[in-house]
Amino acid sequence: AQSVTQLDSQVPVFEEAPVELRCNYSSSVSVYLFWYVQYPNQGLQLLLKYLSGSTLVKGINGFEAEFNKSQTSFHLRKPSVHISDTAEYFCAVSTKTNTGNQFYFGTGTSLTVIP
């Protein structure tokens, strides 16, 4: 079975400060990794994804994440946050199943940027 753990449910950070949102996963097979952002009353928007290749992945809005296979982590980082980054962030893992690729989501991290 797969699981995704987002250790921090809420992360407050001052504007222009750096931020790291943590994500760890457990899986016995190869995985694909994703970070999504959700604004209030909206669906999920893909920030970035790791499918293969370079372990450092750059996404939209200045976010990046690094896949660490030995630590089974995929932490999301941004060097300088903006007020508009305030949102809910979800880490997700996808594995190949008999019925197709299934996503497993973490419980989410609420990022609040303080002016």
Partner 1 sequence: GAVVSQHPSRVICKSGTSVKIECRSLDFQATTMFWYRQFPKQSLMLMATSNEGSKATYEQGVEKDKFLINHASLTLSTLTVTSAHPEDSSFYICSARALRNEQFFGPGTRLTVL
Q: Which residues bind partner 1 (CB under 8 A)?
A: 32, 34, 36, 41-46, 49, 51, 90, 94, 96, 99-103, 105-108, 110
d(CA 13, CA 88): 14
Is-contact 23 34, C-beta < 8 A?
no
Residue reference for tokens 């002016």: 115
d(CA 37, CA 110): 10
Nearer to partner 1 among residue 85 and residue 106 (C-beta): 106
Nearer to partner 1 among residue 44 and residue 77 (C-beta): 44
3-state secondary structure of 15: coil
- Tell the smallest beta-carbon distance from residue 109 to partner 1 (Å): 10
- Tell the smallest beta-carbon distance from residue 16 to partner 1 (Å): 27
Nearer to partner 1 among residue 17 and residue 51 (C-beta): 51
